[in-house]
Chains A and B, each alone.
Chain A
Amino acid sequence: MMTLPQPVRVIRPVSWGTVRMVSALGTLARHGDLLRTLTAHRVSVRYKQSLLGPVWALVQPFALMLIFTVVFTRLVRMPSDGVPYGLFAYAGLLPWTFFATATTNGTTSLVSHAQLVTRVYFPREILPITYVIAALVDLAIALSGLVALAMWFKVPVTTHLLFVVPSLLVLSALATAAALLLSAWQVRFRDVGAALPLVLQLGLFASPVLYPLSAVPPRWSTWYVLNPLAGAIDGFRRATVGVAPDVHALAISAVAALLLLPAAYIVFKHTEATVADVV
């Protein structure tokens, strides 16, 4: 009996179908080698022809920590959950810097690769995702500084440390969602890239980076934790400085990440279909 051959690939107009999204994830998985290669190059290229190289990933949050420590211990007193302020600030600046770097670089990823996007097809989400992973590598390097500080201040190793894992997962998901969404919008509206530094600067003060979540007045806190970064950043810091986690805040962040990441992916894939026409 003859059976009709099945097409290997069918190219159709854009749709919002869930089947399409599932098949998009399959295509992404088949391009795993590209993701790996591109990420490795992203990391290695960044520090070519640079003397300090990867040490920069350590210098940046460290310098910021020193400045904020001087301001918030000598000029004004900032509460820090009973943790030495330098350690406290550094443990908050790490997740924040990761998020800001991943989002900033991810946002311009489609536009800066216009040459490529108009010439070959590959799952476009790979471009923003490589920047998120590269930022994670920087975070890993900067973590060595955190370990050194924790040892210096004799932070005891407790089970609280385990909360680093969910905090980082939630934070990575949020950074990926932001990079996907903003890179897709950036293709049509370059205003996104122009507004982002300002938004991130506001975000630094709207998130518990330089002050503890516990310092937020109770009447604000319901609104405050709607910033999905709050729970994740606070969770990361509490875990690394040996303070019990605020499970409630972390859970809100996790739920936000679970909703935002698929939504951002769907919007991205929808935009992707015509990116090459517009970029």
Chain B
Amino acid sequence: MPLDVEFDHVSKRYLVAAPGSAAATGAKLLSLRRWRGAPRLPFWALRNVSFAVRRGETLGIVGANGAGKSTILKLLCGITTPTAGEIRLYGRVAALIEIGSGFHPELTGRENVFLSGTLLGMRRREIAAKLDAIVAFAGIDSFLDTPVKWYSSGMYVRLGFAVAAHLDAEILLVDEVLAVGDEAFQARCLARVEELRRRGATIILISHDLAAVERVCERVLLIERGCVALEGEPRQVVRGYRERLIAAAADHQGHDSRFNADALDRPLHV
């Protein structure tokens, strides 16, 4: 089977500002270090992650918040670049994200469809051809020539999402679709993903909805602290993830009691 995505020993380091007290900041004002920017600590969001996705496969990625799932997505989109390693893509990538942030409030719905469509890499001709489908998907037809600043927040989100849903791409990145819009719209989104899958698109689904991941995906990766912790058949990985979650929760309680004992020495801030 041909490959569509190869993640080859990818690491990603972010530089995060070091925590500092007000006094330390004051001292820094006078020191030379200030002129080299705030002191930064390295944080490895991904460490040596490798995986591959076959053409037409649906891969699920699960993991706790901050495990590195979104970083994988950002790297796949090209929003940020890896610190080490290489990502090879054998098709056009589209992220099924809510692109309403690319909207300009003063512009009409129609103008914004063209703006966000071209932002996602579509050609104007392509957008013109799909305009009717996009408008129908979003359900905003009578407001197409109204500036989006007068849209309800629901209309705004739906139109933003509808543009992304109509990209022609071989590789589709889906991040928490279920959090967008009302139930009817969510159903439409899932139906759209399903339709693209039937047409042979490769799909990478990132979700906290383990039931949906188990149902839709053919293979699942569990990401933990920036590494691939488990990989394989959805039922097994999801079961493994649940077991780890339970173990972590028990462990966390232990940590909590120790932390509380420590905290008694300090003044209490509410």
Contact = CB atoms under 8 A, between A and B. Distances in A.
A7 B88 contact: yes
A273 B107 contact: no
Contacts of B121: 30-31, 34, 122
Given A8-B92, A13-B83, A37-B114, A277 B78 contact: no
Contacts of A44: 107
Interface residues of A, number: 36
A7 B82 contact: no
23 contacts: A8-B89, A8-B91, A10-B86, A11-B88, A13-B85, A31-B121, A33-B124, A34-B119, A34-B121, A37-B115, A37-B118, A38-B115, A41-B115, A45-B106, A49-B106, A117-B79, A119-B99, A120-B99, A122-B119, A122-B121, A274-B81, A276-B79, A277-B14
A9 interface: yes
Interface in B101-127: 101-102, 104, 106-107, 111, 114-115, 118-124
A120 B79 contact: yes
**Top 5 closest pairs, chain A to chain B, by CB:** A121-B78, A34-B118, A7-B88, A11-B87, A115-B101
A45 B104 contact: yes
Interface of B: 2-3, 6, 14-15, 37, 74-93, 95, 97, 99, 101-102, 104, 106-107, 111, 114-115, 118-124
Interface string A1-25: 0000111111111100000000000
A153 interface: no
Nearest to A120: B119
Contacts of B81: 11-14, 273-274
B77 A7 contact: no
A38 B114 CA distance: 9
A11 B79 contact: no
A45 B87 CA distance: 38
Contacts of A158: none
A273 B93 contact: no
Nearest to A9: B89
B99 A7 contact: no
Nearest to A11: B87
A195 B107 CA distance: 32
Contact of B80 (A30, A49, A276): A276
Contact of A12 (B80, B86, B93, B107): B86
B35 to A, nearest CB: 10
B239 to A, nearest CB: 33
Interface in A78-117: 115-117
Contacts of B120: 120
Most A CB atoms within 10 A — which of B80, B82, B99, B115? B80
Contact of A189 (B37, B77, B95): B37
A48 interface: yes
A116 B115 contact: no
Contacts of A144: none
Given A33-B123, A119-B97, A121-B78, A10 B87 contact: yes
B235 to A, nearest CB: 32
Contacts of A49: 106
Nearest to B10: A11
A76 to B, nearest CB: 41
B225 to A, nearest CB: 19
Contacts of B77: 120-121
A121 B79 CA distance: 5
Contacts of A5: 2-3, 90
B173 to A, nearest CB: 11
Given A5-B3, A10-B89, A48-B106, 14 more contacts: A5-B2, A8-B89, A11-B78, A11-B82, A13-B85, A34-B118, A34-B121, A37-B118, A41-B104, A45-B104, A49-B106, A115-B101, A120-B102, A188-B37
